[in-house]
Amino acid sequence: MCCSQGVLSLVLPCSRDINLSSWCYYPAPCSSPKLSGGEKHQESQQSSRFNYYRAEPAAPDISDDELPHVIEIYDFPSDFRTEDLMRVFCSYQKKGFDIKWVDDTHALGVFSSPITARDALSTKHLMVKTRPLSQGTRASKAKARAYAEYLQPAKERPETSAVLARRLVIGALGVRSKQTPAQRDAERRKLQEAQERKRLENKQREDAWEGRD
């Protein structure tokens, strides 16, 4: 008999109707090396599957023909501001040039046409480097793809408004304006409203680009 009745009596009173052999302790068989190896193999497969799912998605594929008027500006000091980059590309501002930030050391340069963008790429600039958007970083490509509607070719800066031009001419010639005070007030209000609309449009574009509500 593999169990003593003395020990079992502490747990259960002895009884002739109970088969004591059924209460015996049978140690579990040792795990076989083959089984252990299988567990390791299974763990390895699970680990590989886990790493596969954690892999980063591929960078957006942007060809040279997509947004050809946009380039990536990079490798400039992290404390650079928009006005600093504008000064670097000041020769392009009259035809149309804009900056869209990606992070502290990367930005998108938006030109008026692919021709001016290629010209900027072929020119060596101080303090910054440039490259085609198709060769840019993952973040630059992703932001350009997500906000492509805000990367339309930059427009040439508008000429001085007719109101301001007329005032300059009248002031320079010393000619008295024939407009009535009411007409001048109406023109002034019209100019202020146009400036306010322009300011709001620019703010909405910037908020959309930065992801602000």
Q: What is the pLDDT along the chain (213 residues), one digit of tens a residue?
A: 444 444 444 444 444 454 544 444 445 554 454 444 444 445 445 544 545 445 455 556 788 888 999 999 999 999 999 999 999 999 998 888 999 999 999 999 999 999 999 999 999 998 999 999 999 999 999 999 988 888 888 766 554 455 665 666 566 566 566 778 887 788 778 878 877 777 777 676 666 666 665
Evaluate whether residue 46 is within a structural domain.
no
Q: What is the model's pLDDT at position 165?
A: 59
The 10 Å Cβ neighbour count of residue 76 is 19
Are residues 74 and 21 both part of a single domain?
no
Q: What is the model's pLDDT at position 62?
A: 82
Are residues 184 and 116 both part of a single domain?
no
Are residues 80 and 107 both part of a single domain?
yes
Evaluate whether residue 51 is within a structural domain.
no
Evaluate whether residue 45 is within a structural domain.
no
Q: What is the largest CA-CA distance in the chain?
A: 132
Are residues 169 and 196 both part of a single domain?
yes
Q: What is the model's pLDDT at position 141?
A: 94
CATH code, domain with 140:
3.30.70.330
Number of domains comprising the chain: 3
Evaluate whether residue 186 is within a structural domain.
yes
Q: What is the model's pLDDT at position 123?
A: 93
Are residues 102 and 130 both part of a single domain?
yes
Are residues 176 and 126 both part of a single domain?
no
Are residues 188 and 144 both part of a single domain?
no
Are residues 20 and 88 both part of a single domain?
no
Contact 63, 114 (CB under 8 A): no
* CA pair distance 207, 213, nearest whole angstrom: 7
* CA pair distance 62, 59, nearest whole angstrom: 9
Domain that holds residue 131: 70-150
Are residues 167 and 126 both part of a single domain?
no
Q: What is the model's pLDDT at position 210?
A: 66
Evaluate whether residue 134 is within a structural domain.
yes
* CA pair distance 75, 125, nearest whole angstrom: 11
Phi, psi of 188 (to 5 degrees): -65, -45
Q: What is the model's pLDDT at position 94?
A: 86
Q: Please identify, among 150, 172, 188, the residue that sits at the C-terminal boundary of a domain.
A: 150
Q: What is the model's pLDDT at position 15?
A: 46
Are residues 85 and 133 both part of a single domain?
yes
* CA pair distance 147, 102, nearest whole angstrom: 11
Q: Please identify, among 125, 150, 175, the residue that sits at the C-terminal boundary of a domain.
A: 150
The DSSP annotation for the chain comes to --S-HHHHHTTS---TTS-GGGG---PPPPPPHHHHHHHHHHHHHHHHHHHHHHSPPPPP---TTSSTTEEEEES--TT--HHHHHHHTGGGTTT-EEEEEEETTEEEEEESSHHHHHHHHHS--SS-EEEEGGGS-HHHHHHHHHTGGG-PPPPPPPPPPHHHHHHHHHHHHTPPP---HHHHHHHHHHHHHHHHHHHHHHHHHHHHHHT--
Q: What is the model's pLDDT at position 86?
A: 93
Evaluate whether residue 94 is within a structural domain.
yes
Q: Please identify, among 98, 125, 150, the residue that sits at the C-terminal boundary of a domain.
A: 150
Evaluate whether residue 9 is within a structural domain.
yes
The 10 Å Cβ neighbour count of residue 123 is 11
Q: What is the model's pLDDT at position 114?
A: 95
Evaluate whether residue 61 is within a structural domain.
no
Are residues 139 and 167 both part of a single domain?
no
Are residues 141 and 174 both part of a single domain?
no
